[in-house]
Amino acid sequence: MIERALTGDRRYWGWIAALLGVITVGSLFYLRQLTVGLTITGLSRDVTWGFYIAQFTFMVGVAASAVMVVLPYYLHDFKAFGRIAILGEFLAIGSAAVCGLFILVDLGQPARVFNMFLHPSPRSILFWDSVVLTGYLLLNAVIAHQTLKAEDQGTAVPAWVKPVIYLSIPWAISIHTVTAFIYQGLAARPYWMTAILAPRFLASAFASGPALLILICLLLRRTTRFDPGEKAVQKLATIVTYAMLVNLFFVLMEVFTAVYSGIPEHMAHFQYLFLGLGGHAELVPWMWAGLVLAVVALAILLRPSVRSQARWLAVACGAVVVSVWIEKGLGMVVAGFNPSPLGHVTRYWPTAPEVLIGLGVYGIGALVVTILYKTALSVRGEVA
Amino acid sequence: MAVNRRRFFQLTGATALGVASSQVLPAASEERSPGPARPADKPLVGQRWAMAIDVGKCREEEDCRDCIAACDKAHNVPHFDNKKDEVKWIWKEPFEEALQNQSSQFQAERLRHAHVLVFCNHCDNPPCTKVCPTQATWKRDDGVVMMDWHRCIGCRYCVAGCPYGSRSFNWRDPRPHIDELNPEFPTRTRGVVEKCNFCEERLARGEQPACVVACKEKALIFGDLEDPESEIRKVLRERPSVRRKVALGTQPQIFYLL
C-alpha cells in the first residue's frame, strides 16, 4: 500500500521537497549540537528544559487527541467519523514520532538513550512515559494498517483488531496523563506540582488536537478530492469548543488557587508569566496573546451559526492551536524553572539553531503524516 | 546499633584491605604519598554522612572562598566566562534565598546579610535519584548521593527534580575550562549532569572532604550521624540548627548552625 506514496503530482513532490529541505537544515544544526553540545540552545544552568521539552509536551497532546475521533466512531458508532478516523490515527503516529524525536534531541548523550531500557527504572516517570508513548505508536500503527488494508482489499477488518482499538482509547488518555506526571510529581517545582495538571493537559490536548485535525480536513478538502463530511467537521468543532472551555476553566482554577492563597512560591510563577518577574518579561506579551486568542476562538466557536462557516471555523481552530501552543509549547515548561529554587529568574529564549532543529523534527513528523495520508487517500481513490 | 551482615563485611573488608595494603604494598604506597598526613589507605566508614555549617563563622570571612576553590580544584570543576554554561558544586547564596523560610527582616545582622554555603544536601530521601530514568544517580548506604557520568544520558530530569538547585549540566566540553587539572579525579564530558559527591573519593582514602579541610575557621563539620559520639552529633545537640526546605520531606543532611 505504502508504494502509493511514491507517485504524485508536482504539488505533492514540491511539498515533499520542501519538507526534506527543512529536515536537512534541522539535521545540519543537530550535527552541530552533537559536536558542540546543548550550549547552542538558549538553555542554562537554571532553565534546563525549554523549547524541545515543551514541543514534546504539546505534541503528546496532539497524539492523544486522536481518541476524540476514535472513541465516538468505534465506541459510540458515530458513523460520520468513518472517513476521518484514519486521519486521526495517522496524525497520532506522526505526533508520537515527533515526541520521541524531541526527547532525543534534548538529550546531552543521545548515543546512550538505550540505557533507559538497559537499566529500566520503574520509579522514574520518564521511563513510563517512554513505555506508554512507544506502545501508543505501535497500537495506532497496527490499527491504521489493518483498517486500511481491509479497505484496500475490500475485506472486513479482522476481529482481533476491535479489542486493540478499545485498548487504544484508555491508552491515549494514559500518554498525556503520564506526561503530566513527569511534571506534577516534582516537589521541587511548585508551578507544576498541581493535581489539575493532567486534567488540564488533556483538556488543552482535546482542544488543540481536533482543531489541528479540522484544519487538515479543510486543507485536504481544498487540495484533494477527499471530503471529510460537514457533519464530521462540525462534530469536531463541538468537541473543540467544549474542550477549550474546560481548558480555560482549569487555567482560571489554577490562577485563583495560587493568587488567593497568596503563597509566594506558587504566585511567583504566574507573576513571571503574566506580569514579569525580576526584570524578565520575555513571555508576558506571548501569554497575554495566548489568552486573547483563546477568548477570540471561543467567541467564534460558541456561536453555531458562525462556526459552521468554514472560514470562521478555520480562524477559530488556528486561534485554538496557537493559544494552546503558547501556553504549553512556550510558557509551561520555562515557568517551572523561573523563579528557580533559589529565587533566581534567568532569561530563556530559544536560539535560532534550537528553533531550526525543532522545525526539522516537525518536518519529519509532517513527512510521516504526509506519506501516510497519501497512502490512505490513494487507497480510497481520493487524491487530486 | 545493630551490625548486620552487610555492615560486618564492610567493616572487616575495610580493615583487611587497610592491613593488606600497608603490609603487602608498603613501597607502592610510600611512593604515592610521601607526606605523613595521609593516614594509610584506610577509608573513612560511616553509616550516615552529614555536614554542619557554622553560618556565623562563615559570615565573618565574607570574601573567603577557600572551600569553594579546594572543591573546584579537587574535582576539576570548570569555570566559564558566561553564566549560561555555569557548572558549580559548592557556592554561596544570600541567607534569605538559601534558607527562605528561616529568614526575617528582624533577624540579627550577622544572619540576615550572611552569604551561606550551598551544595548537594545528600538527602536521605533524594527526589533526584527517584526521577532518573537510567539509575545513573543513586543513594549509597552511607547516604552519599552518587552520580555515574558514564551512564547519565543527559535528560536533566534530576536537575528539574532537585528542590535545591544543586545540580549542574555540562552544556559544552568542560575540559578546556578547567583551571588546573587534577589527574587523580575524572573530568567530565559534555552532556552529563554533575554535583557535589561529598568527596567520596577522599572518604575512600580516609580523608575528610576537601571543603572541610580547606576551611581555616573550622566552620564545616563533617561526620557520621549514626555515631552518637561524633563531633557533628555533639554540635547538633548543643546548638540550634536549620535545614533547607524540610517541609518537602527530602530529609536534607546539611545542617546550618545559627
Which chain B residues touch A182 with a CB distance below 8 Å?
A: 157
Residue A97: which pLDDT band, with cuts at 50, 70 and 90? very high
Task: Report the top-level CATH class of B44-257.
Answer: alpha beta
Q: Which fold has domain A2-379?
A: Formate dehydrogenase/DMSO reductase fold (1.20.1630)
Burial readout B174-193 (b: 16 or more C-beta within 10 A, e: otherwise): beeebeeeeeeeebbbbbbb
B13 touches chain A (CB under 8 A): no
Q: Counting beta carbons within 10 angstroms of the beta carbon of residue B237, is it exposed (0 to 12), middle (13 to 18) or buried (19 or more)? A: exposed
- Rounded distance between C-alpha atoms, residue A225 and residue B69, angstroms: 71
Instruction: Using the predicted structure, report yes or no on whether residue B12 has a pLDDT greater than 70.
Output: no
Average pLDDT, chain A: 95
Give CA torsion, residues B235, B239, B240, B242, to 10 deg.
-30
For the stretch B39-64, pLDDT in tens is 557 899 999 999 999 998 887 777 89
Question: For residue B27, what pLDDT is reported?
Answer: 42
Q: From A52, which residue of chain B is nearest by alpha-carbon distance?
A: B155
Contact B157 A126 (CB under 8 A): yes
Which chain A residues touch B189 with a CB distance below 8 Å?
A: 109
Q: 10 Å Cβ neighbour count for A344?
A: 17
Question: For residue B34, what pLDDT is reported?
Answer: 43
Q: 10 Å Cβ neighbour count for B117?
A: 21
Instruction: Using the predicted structure, report yes or no on whether residue B230 has a pLDDT greater than 90.
Output: yes
- The more confidently predicted of residues B96 and A208 is A208
Contact A38 B169 (CB under 8 A): yes
Instruction: Using the predicted structure, report yes or no on whether residue B1 has a pLDDT greater than 90.
Output: no
Question: For residue B189, what pLDDT is reported?
Answer: 96
| Arithmetic mean of pLDDT, B100-113 | 72
C-alpha cell at A294: 483563546
Domain ranges within chain B, ordered by starting residue: 44-257
For the stretch A220-269, pLDDT in tens is 999 889 999 999 999 999 999 999 999 999 999 999 999 999 999 899 99
In this prediction, the answer to ipTM > 0.85 reads: yes
A340 touches chain B (CB under 8 A): yes
Residue A18 near residue A88 (C-beta atoms within 8 A): no
Q: From B150, which residue of chain A is nearest by alpha-carbon distance?
A: A112
